[in-house]
Structure 1
């Protein structure tokens, strides 16, 4: 029996939980909070898909890692903004040979592990001995408590949204890319192949990435256009793409990200997206990217992982990114506003 914990049952984490709960040989637990947790404990978790609903009863749904036994696999579904605060709990939850699978958007905290020194100098000013990224792991807690050698990196393409507590809506397809952070470990990784086999048996389409960092850059091209612009405008992604000006703004942001990646040694092909016409886009509602969902729910935005860290890379490698810099400034202001409004909400009084 393989013990798997979904640490952070947000939209994607909840999707994973329902699928893995159907998988024989898996003892599943999840960590969630608030009304979502209470509903899962009382009524289970429902995944709504294009082909119908799937319901799962999660017997081990808890609010804290201390309430669970050691886990073989911890799939971290937390937002990038929350990961560092949970470093010790994630690390202590793993068995001696356990693995932590990170599936959050943006540049991951383990980026420098196994890379040449020239590619990790963006972190050198914080700690020359530990190539963690100071912006994402400010006190090195993730590096020390979880340890990057126990990490499998993940990139997930899967449109999901929690529409009410205990109910997540998924539209379209799911594609998961997984990889070893240390490039030299990719070819001989039995743990990676076993994880991919397990996820596929649960109906989650997973494949091995030849270079997980290249996959991170490719996903970032998608996120840098839709997450940032949709969050700032509060338009869904279809509405953004119908606007020629906003569509072209996304292309400009993608070009700047590609320039940063190229300076660091990754040749990232342009993101392929065509601008839909009004006729082809209507009447189906567009997907709301995760950063827009966070704005609408009054939650902290993943500014650092999606924009701040690429911008820091750009500065370290001497790449001009004027539009990315402006978007970072605007998103930082929006994030501050969202946090202030959340602090004034009745629940925080």
Structure 2
């Protein structure tokens, strides 16, 4: 097989950790090139000192073949993994057009379930894969990514799962010690994560509390209502989900470290101009209107957060 070029766009908690594993594995490989698309001080640190990855007591420094904010320096890629925030996805795809031809696969690993649709509108002739990850990782400081959890799994798939290139990508991931799975049921996996992440982000931001605090008796009723509302949206979209998804989601929330919170909550606390309110909360309301499903708790929470976001 000819040389494979993989671009990771967005070297934060997700892109930095998985991109770091890929860059470490293939730093001297003649058949696989790993490139980072980043910006600012973070990019300068990577260019000068490499990307440090910390997981517990272990750490290593990864060096991609190129780290740049200029897509023209990268050239056409076989696979672009987009790990930015959901509100940046369209801008990033437009920036990366010099890296894309009609054979380039795009794999968004973002919170939310509408990224594929947004990307497909920009790239109607490309294969847009679906994917999601479970990981607790963050950009600790420029040039440093810290994985703080005990789970780091990546799922991806598409309409044609038998495509040899998808199997090739899965092999590349696994050889880099990434716990990757090419799945025939990727829609279910992505939506079941959304049923977890949307109520979590919405509740932690609404209550301005950690996950441990929002699953206490004082707030569990509202959290459960949020889960049940988004579950109805998944069912209206003909997504197969576990019958006991509500109980599974609450159990997952209670199993997380007490102080864990969501990236949307962090963005609100830090008064960032952009956040994931529309993709994680507003999207559920929009889908409810589309399918004639009432989402009163989402509407209540969204309206309050919208006011805070002004």
Does the pair score TM above 0.5? yes
Partner of 2:150: 172
1:16 maps to 18
Gapped regions of structure 2 (runs ≥ 5):
none
Q: TM-score, with normalisation over the residues of structure 1?
A: 0.78
Q: Distance in 1 between matches of 2:305 and 2:253?
A: 26
Kindly provide the CA deviation profile for residues 258-283 of structure 1, in whole angstroms up to 9, marking residues without a partner as x.
11111221242214133999xx98xx
- Please list the CA deviations of residues 2-34 of structure 1 after superposition, one character each: whole Å capped at 9, or x if unmatched: 211111112111111110012234311111122
TM alignment of 1:231-310, pairs within 5 A: 231-241=205-215, 243-269=216-242, 270-271=245-246, 272=248, 273-274=250-251, 286-299=259-272, 300-310=274-284
Residue-pair matches, total: 298
Cα offset, 1:105, TM superposition? 0.7
Residue in structure 1 matched with residue 165 of structure 2 by the alignment: 191
Pairing 1:216-227 to 2, within 5 Å after superposition: 216-227=190-201
For the residue of structure 2 that corresponds to 1:157, the secondary structure is: strand
Given candidates 89, 92, 99, the residue that maps to 1:86 is 92
Is the Cα contact below 8 Å between 1:156 and 1:176 reproduced in 2? yes
Encode CA deviations 1:273-321: one digit per residue, 9 max, x unaligned. 33999xx98xx66323221232344431112221222221111111111
Residues 75, 98 of structure 2: 8 Å contact kept: no
8 Å CA contact retained: 2:120, 2:126: no
Cα gap change, 1:22/1:64 in structure 2, threshold over 3 Å: closer, same or farther?
same
Q: Deviation of residue 51 (structure 1)?
A: 4.7
1:90–1:146 Cα contact (<8 Å) kept: no
Pairing partner for 2:179 from 193, 200, 205: 205
1:327–1:97 Cα change, 3 Å: same
Structure 2 partner of 1:40: 46
In 2, Cα distance between the equivalents of 1:237 and 1:86? 30
In structure 2, distance between residues paired with 1:162 and 1:148: 34
Larger displacement relative to structure 2 (205-214 or 247-256): 205-214
Output the CA distance in 2 between the equivalents of 1:20 and 1:96: 24
Contact 1:91 1:146 in 2 (8 A): no
Give the structure 1 partner of residue 309 of structure 2.
335
What 5-or-longer segments of structure 1 have no aligned partner?
112-136, 337-349
1:340 maps to which residue?
Answer: none
SS of the residue corresponding to residue 174 of structure 1 reads strand
Change over 3 Å in CA distance of 1:96–1:311 after alignment to 2? same
1:323 aligned residue: 297
Superposed CA offset, 1:230-257 (max 9, x none): 223332222333x222233221101001
Correspondence for 1:163 among 132, 140, 144: 140
Give me the TM-score of the superposition, normalised by structure 2.
Answer: 0.87
Q: Structure 2 CA distance, aligned partners of 1:105 and 1:331? A: 18
- 1:341 counterpart residue number: none
| Alignment counterpart, residue 230 of structure 1, candidates 185, 188, 204 | 204
Indicate conservation of the 8 Å contact 1:247/1:275, yes or no.
Answer: no
Q: CA RMSD in A?
A: 2.3
- C-alpha displacement of 1:93: 1.0
